[in-house]
Amino acid sequence: MIKTVDVSKVYKGGTPAVNRVSMDIEKGEFVFVVGPSGSGKSTMIKMLNKEEEPTSGSIYVAGKNLASLPRWRVPYLRRNVGCVFQDFKLLPNKTVYENVGFALEVIGRPRTVVRRQVPQILELVGLGEKLDRFPDELSGGEQQRVSIARAFVNRPLILLADEPTGNLDPATSVGIMRLLDRINRTGTTVVMATHDHAIVDSMRRRVIELEGGNVVRDQSRGIYGVGT
Amino acid sequence: MKIGYFLSETITNLKRNLLMTVAAISTVAISLLLLGGVQILGMVVNNVTLSWEAKVEVSAYFRDDAQPNEIENITRDVQAMPEVEEVFFVSKEQAFEEYKKIYEDQPQFYENLPEDSLPASLRIKLTDAAYADQVKGAIDGAPGVDDVRDGGLVLRRLLQVNSLLRTITFAMSIILLVAAAALIANTIRLAIYARRDEIGIMKLVGATNWFIRIPFLFEGVFAAFVGAIIASLIVVGAQWAVFKNLGEQITFLGPVFSFSTGEIASVLGILFAVGCGIGLIGSGLALRRFLEA
């Protein structure tokens, strides 16, 4: 589903953020990418979505070589790759319903489908009562649920999550992880960058650890740190 | 189905970003109003010029002993000149009648004059005041002609001033056009800049550039269109209230302040074209920066 070969990213005039990373993620896997700040987790996630271009190496997502994907095809790639961010990235002047509905409108789904599916998915994430709220009227955990609902509403093959619990308290984080786990059980491949030890340790999933842009560990059913 | 989405999206955005909508509409209205004002000013100057030019006539006075065939020849020659619009022959009797009319209240000026004391003359209307000298030179010294006069130096000086004014108003309208364009484009750019995160998020969700762009373009055109309506209403209102009333009350201003419907329509047409064109182009250019990458 996701394959990277010797991927490096060097930002202008800096040390490499990602250094010759190769990884292979199967369909339906749940993978944690862990490591301290600056280890290259976010850069890695961004390259999978073609938000950033690698300096060298190649990336294949859902069978497509991203380097040879023309710019106008990028939106179509992103419809297969849902994204969840630390800062939620909800549209501030759209309601919860409209934020989630937007992901469907974008792919040209008719209104009737939007009207049926959006309340369904919001029910699933536990926000069935808050359709007409605006993002700034919601708590952080609720906003993250909206953003997950938006990422998942059109059933993407892959869900990328960049520190989705980074702004949330532990109790709320557990709820978010349950949600991501449920999504993963529907067959969606989930890649999540995090530095939250407790979460990684409790989930016991594959862990890829980055340090200074290098892969230092790739372990199935792993925990956050080997020595800790 | 898509059009429905774009329209409802546009309306929702205009409502939810009400402050920006109002700012954009009023910017457009004010810039277009200035532009329209200069256009009207230009029309006034133009009317002044036309009404003065109409007064520039060349008069050729005949000698008392001029032969009828001499008069006829000159009349025919003058009529054939391309610079000449119209020729009137004023006989000695007609000249005296006109004179009497001017001094109706003071009969002492004409009571003791013999009826044939004024010369017969040709009044020559020109197609353009600038030809006065040329026409004058052509008739001067012709057999039977005593003297040739034109409308006078003062009038011609005024016409020169007028043509300067015309150039100035034209330059002003160009400058205001550019200023209006810059102002409108800037306001739109600010409005879009304030929503750049929104554009970024739309892209992340997989929206194509056109899908993002169209509601913004609609918004830009809508704001420009409403602004143009406001500016037009004010222009028409002012024309009606100020110029028309003034023109009716002060007779000599009448021809200066009267504009044909076509003239007003062309000013409004310019306002709408400039407003909507800049609304569309401005939004498109402003978006380009945020849609790239």
In chain B, which residue's Cα lies nearest the Cα of A112? Answer: B1
**β-bridge mates for residue A84, sequence order:** A161
DSSP A171-216: HHHHHHHHHHHHHHHTT-EEEEEE--HHHHHHH--EEEEEETTEEE
Averaged confidence pLDDT in chain B: 82
Check if A79 contacts B (Cβ < 8 Å): yes
**Would you say residue A161 has pLDDT above 90?**
yes
Top residue of A106, A118, A160 to mutate, by most chain B CBs within 10 Å, is A106
Strands A81-85 and A158-162: parallel
Which residue in the set B1, B5, B16 is minimally distant from A93, CB to CB? B16
Which residue in the set B2, B17, B206 is minimally distant from A75, CB to CB? B206
**β-bridge mates for residue B112, sequence order:** none
Q: Encoding tokens for residue B204?
A: 């992340």
* Residue A225 Cα, gap to closest chain B Cα (Å): 32
- Enumerate the residues of chain A whose CB falls inside 8 A of the CB of residue B211: 75, 106
* Residue A124 Cα, gap to closest chain B Cα (Å): 20
- Enumerate the residues of chain A whose CB falls inside 8 A of the CB of residue B12: 98
Which residue in the set A75, A92, A105 is minimally distant from B5, CB to CB? A105
Check residue B54 and give left, alpha or beta (phi > 0: left; psi -120 to 50: alpha): alpha
Contacts of A133 (CB under 8 A, 6+ apart): A95, A96
Backbone angles phi, psi at B116, to 5 degrees: -105, 25
Helix (H, G, I), strand (E, B) or coil at A107: coil
Which residue in the set B2, B5, B201 is minimally distant from A91, CB to CB? B201
Residue B31's H or E segment, with its range, is helix B18-53
To the nearest whole percent, how much of chain A has pLDDT over 70?
A: 99
Q: Encoding tokens for residue B49?
A: 């010029």
Q: Do B202 and A51 touch (CB under 8 A)?
A: no
Residue A205 is predicted with a pLDDT of 93
Q: Encoding tokens for residue A106?
A: 């974008």
Q: What is the largest CA-CA distance in chain B?
A: 101
B285 shares a domain with B175: yes
Which residue in the set A91, A103, A106 is minimally distant from B198, CB to CB? A91
Q: Do B208 and A77 touch (CB under 8 A)?
A: no
**Would you say residue B250 has pLDDT above 70?**
no
Each residue's pLDDT tens digit, A35-77:
988 899 999 999 999 999 999 999 999 989 999 999 889 999 9
Give the integer Cα–Cα distance in Å for B249 and A125.
Answer: 75
What's the Rg (C-alpha) of chain A?
A: 17
B285 shares a domain with B208: yes
B75 shares a domain with B15: no
B161 shares a domain with B140: no
To the nearest whole percent, how much of chain B has pLDDT over 70?
A: 92
Which of A119-123, A134-138, B84-88, B242-246 shows the lowest per-residue confidence on average (mean pLDDT)?
A: B242-246
For position B135, which CATH number holds? 3.30.70.3040
The residue segments making up the domain with residue B170 are: 2-52+156-290
Residue A190 is predicted with a pLDDT of 96
Q: Do A75 and B201 touch (CB under 8 A)?
A: no
Give the integer Cα–Cα distance in Å for B118 and A127.
Answer: 103
Residue B253 is predicted with a pLDDT of 64
Of B117, B150, B183, the domain-final residue: B150
Residue A119's H or E segment, with its range, is helix A111-124
Give the integer Cα–Cα distance in Å for A50 and A77.
Answer: 9
Give the integer Cα–Cα distance in Å for B274 and B30.
Answer: 13
Residue A135 is predicted with a pLDDT of 95
Residue A133 is predicted with a pLDDT of 95
Q: Do B207 and A75 touch (CB under 8 A)?
A: yes
B248 shares a domain with B124: no
Give the integer Cα–Cα distance in Å for A43 and A194.
Answer: 13
Give the integer Cα–Cα distance in Å for A99 and A153.
Answer: 11
Of B123, B150, B177, the domain-final residue: B150
Each residue's pLDDT tens digit, A78-135:
999 999 999 999 998 899 999 999 999 888 888 899 999 999 999 999 999 999 999 9
Q: Encoding tokens for residue B186?
A: 């800037």
Decide: A27 and A189 in contact? Cβ < 8 Å.
yes
Top residue of A95, A105, A111, A146 to mutate, by most chain B CBs within 10 Å, is A105
- Enumerate the residues of chain B whose CB falls inside 8 A of the CB of residue A89: 197, 200-201, 204
Sign of CA dihedral B161, B163, B165, B171: negative
Of B124, B150, B176, the domain-final residue: B150
Residue A27 is predicted with a pLDDT of 94
Q: Encoding tokens for residue B191?
A: 């409005």
How long a stretch of residues is chain A?
A: 228
B105 shares a domain with B198: no
Q: Do B208 and A75 touch (CB under 8 A)?
A: yes
Q: Do B205 and A102 touch (CB under 8 A)?
A: yes
First to last CA, chain B: 29
Each residue's pLDDT tens digit, B111-166:
778 877 888 888 888 777 777 777 878 888 778 888 888 766 667 777 788 788 88
In chain A, which residue's Cα lies nearest the Cα of B204? Answer: A78
* Amino acid (1-letter code) at residue A121: I
Residue B15 is predicted with a pLDDT of 86
B132 shares a domain with B164: no
Give the residue-averaged pLDDT of B178-203.
84
DSSP state of A217: E
B214 shares a domain with B99: no
Which of A21-25, B39-43, B273-277: highest mean pLDDT? Answer: A21-25
Top residue of B8, B205, B212, B214 to mutate, by most chain A CBs within 10 Å, is B205
Check if A134 contacts B (Cβ < 8 Å): no
Q: Token match 């969840």: residue?
A: A84
Check if B16 contacts A (Cβ < 8 Å): yes
Q: Do B204 and A106 touch (CB under 8 A)?
A: no
Give the integer Cα–Cα distance in Å for B269 and B232.
Answer: 9
Q: Encoding tokens for residue B285?
A: 């250019």
Res. A228 pLDDT band, cuts 50 70 90 = very low
Averaged confidence pLDDT in chain A: 91
Decide: B237 and B37 in contact? Cβ < 8 Å.
no
Residue B274's H or E segment, with its range, is helix B261-291
Residue B66 is predicted with a pLDDT of 80
Give the integer Cα–Cα distance in Å for B56 and B54.
Answer: 6
- Could you say which residues from 175 to 234 on chain B have a Cβ atom under 8 Å away from some Cβ of chain A? 197-198, 200-209, 211
Our count of domains for chain B comes to: 2
B66 shares a domain with B207: no
Give the integer Cα–Cα distance in Å for B275 and B223.
Answer: 9
B166 shares a domain with B30: yes
In chain A, which residue's Cα lies nearest the Cα of B208? Answer: A75
Within chain A, how many helices (H) and strands (E) appear? 7, 10
Give the integer Cα–Cα distance in Å for A20 and A4.
Answer: 9
B274 shares a domain with B161: yes
B161 shares a domain with B146: no
- Could you say which residues from 46 to 75 on chain A have a Cβ atom under 8 Å away from some Cβ of chain B? 49, 51, 72, 75
**Would you say residue B282 has pLDDT above 80?**
yes
In chain A, which residue's Cα lies nearest the Cα of B200? Answer: A89
A15 or A23: whose pLDDT is higher?
A: A23
Give the integer Cα–Cα distance in Å for A59 and A66.
Answer: 6
